[in-house]
A and B are shown apart, each in its own frame.
Chain A
């Protein structure tokens, strides 16, 4: 077996600030990897570079496509990258407004990726959308409602349905539980965990919520000032932090 996504020595500076400083990582099929760290530590930049949205100054990102061929993400044409982005990959934004079309009904939102890859049968698109709404615990009767009339938690679940409808193998999540209140967060985490196990998704999740990382992730990467300061199994890293910064991070978590 080989990794689904492998990054080597990614480097990117914004002026004098090192956003990524020699970051390497691997994601294996069916694995959930969390990146934690404080604001400005380069988490989101790493996500953007790995998903081909931003070019690093140095380094390489390799992706193993469904045929088993290794693709160089940074050398890919824009068309190929876009195709990858709407079939084999998914991206869940922190703010559902960035990932949803607010003026398009819930069903249309879920169906968009299907139509983008060539689905041209209205009935089956609608059936698929209904099934996915059920799966993310949204009442299928609301299929024709606009997302702007949904609650924050529902919008986020809709965004997940919309992302997963094409059965991607790798999903990038940027703080998917940010901006939601705790009970809604818990429900969303539960849902993500169930879907990930069900679909055998590989997920790269960026978060500053240590609890969310513990619940979802198999492996954890701790970032600080553009460097991965510690990496390992989630429980190992959180129960026995080695790096002083990780120790600080773990000890800063509020216990309820």
Chain B
């Protein structure tokens, strides 16, 4: 049942049109940040206003929406955003990666990499990969324009000099199509390789910073590294305590105050379906 008094998917048509134009431009220039007039949304900045606006603009009545937060379908943010779109757009929602046409995500890419025809929408807190190194936006724009990215390597150099390895574990900077340096949003570096030549369209929305960018399907995305210190995705050296997977990205869950802990898949859908398959096999 759709809420009355709201336009389909909450935003008015003119706003959606404006955002779609930004998205089209972003797709045309992979990795390049396109400014857009982000609207006030009925939730605070930092909770996914950018992602929600992108999702609202691309959603059609026949779409099936999945929302994940840190890989999980059952956390507050994921549940609320799913319910929001059920109410204002009346679209079907799902927790299954395979059934979704649009996947809005915060901080993860599903273990089952999105396929052709799917769209993955990232919530982005900080779209500018250089902001910690160069606070002036006019200057970072110039650096992007001139592909002047030596500074980013300086940061990696500093990490290796101080710690012996690149310490960036999330929001690990990537080069898109050999041209634009891009912040992949705070996904773990573990997920970076999934972005490379992904068959699905990847859209990024930053609401507070008012930027949209995109990676079209099958676009090369390379994590920055040095020849003698190649990029290595980091993963906890355990198997999931629930499904036994030794390939998925794990969350560490503290279970008591005596040092007890367990490692479980952060992707709840992946974990649950693996357990279903195991149970069926046992029966």
Instruction: Decide if the interface of chain B is mainly helix, strand, loop or mixed.
Output: helix
**Contact residues in B for A78 (Cβ distance below 8 Å):** 142, 146
A101 B154 Cβ-Cβ under 8 A: yes
**Contact residues in B for A82 (Cβ distance below 8 Å):** 146, 148
**Contact residues in A for B157 (Cβ distance below 8 Å):** 107-108, 111, 115, 122, 125
**Contact residues in B for A126 (Cβ distance below 8 Å):** 161
A122 B150 Cβ-Cβ under 8 A: no
Which of chain B's residues 141-182 have a Cβ closer than 8 Å to chain A? 142, 145-146, 148, 150-151, 153-154, 157-158, 160-162
B228 at the A/B interface (Cβ < 8 Å)? yes
Q: How far is the CA of A143 from the CA of B162 in the complex (A)?
A: 10
**Contact residues in B for A122 (Cβ distance below 8 Å):** 157, 160, 226-229
A104 at the A/B interface (Cβ < 8 Å)? yes
Residue picked from A78, A107, A108, A143, most chain B C-beta under 10 Å: A108
Q: How far is the CA of A18 from the CA of B249 in the complex (A)?
A: 66
Residue picked from A86, A101, A122, A143, most chain B C-beta under 10 Å: A122
B80 to chain A, nearest CB (A): 39
Q: How far is the CA of A78 from the CA of B146 in the complex (A)?
A: 8
Please report the total number of A residues contacting B with Cβ < 8 Å.
Answer: 23
* Per-residue B-contact encoding for A96-136, CB less than 8 Å = 1, 0 else: 00000100110110011101110011110110000000000
> Of all chain A residues, which has the CB nearest B147?
A79
Please judge, given known A-B contacts A115-B150, A117-B150, whether A108 and B228 are in contact too, CB under 8 Å: no
**Contact residues in A for B148 (Cβ distance below 8 Å):** 82, 116
Q: How far is the CA of A140 from the CA of B151 in the complex (A)?
A: 22
**Contact residues in A for B226 (Cβ distance below 8 Å):** 120-122
B158 A104 Cβ-Cβ under 8 A: yes
**Contact residues in B for A108 (Cβ distance below 8 Å):** 154, 157-158, 161
**Contact residues in A for B158 (Cβ distance below 8 Å):** 104-105, 108
Which of chain B's residues 209-241 have a Cβ closer than 8 Å to chain A? 225-229
> Of all chain B residues, which has the CB nearest A107?
B161
A190 at the A/B interface (Cβ < 8 Å)? no
Q: How far is the CA of A78 from the CA of B227 in the complex (A)?
A: 29
A144 B151 Cβ-Cβ under 8 A: no
Q: How far is the CA of A69 from the CA of B227 in the complex (A)?
A: 34
**Contact residues in B for A107 (Cβ distance below 8 Å):** 157, 161
> Of all chain B residues, which has the CB nearest A121?
B227
A144 B161 Cβ-Cβ under 8 A: yes
**Contact residues in A for B225 (Cβ distance below 8 Å):** 120
Q: How far is the CA of A120 from the CA of B154 in the complex (A)?
A: 11
**Contact residues in A for B160 (Cβ distance below 8 Å):** 122
**Contact residues in B for A101 (Cβ distance below 8 Å):** 154
B120 to chain A, nearest CB (A): 30
Q: Which residues of B contact A (CB under 8 A)?
A: 142, 145-146, 148, 150-151, 153-154, 157-158, 160-162, 225-229
Q: A79-B146, A82-B148, A125-B157 are in contact. List 7 more A-B contacts (CB 8 A).
A: A78-B142, A86-B150, A105-B162, A117-B150, A121-B228, A122-B157, A122-B229
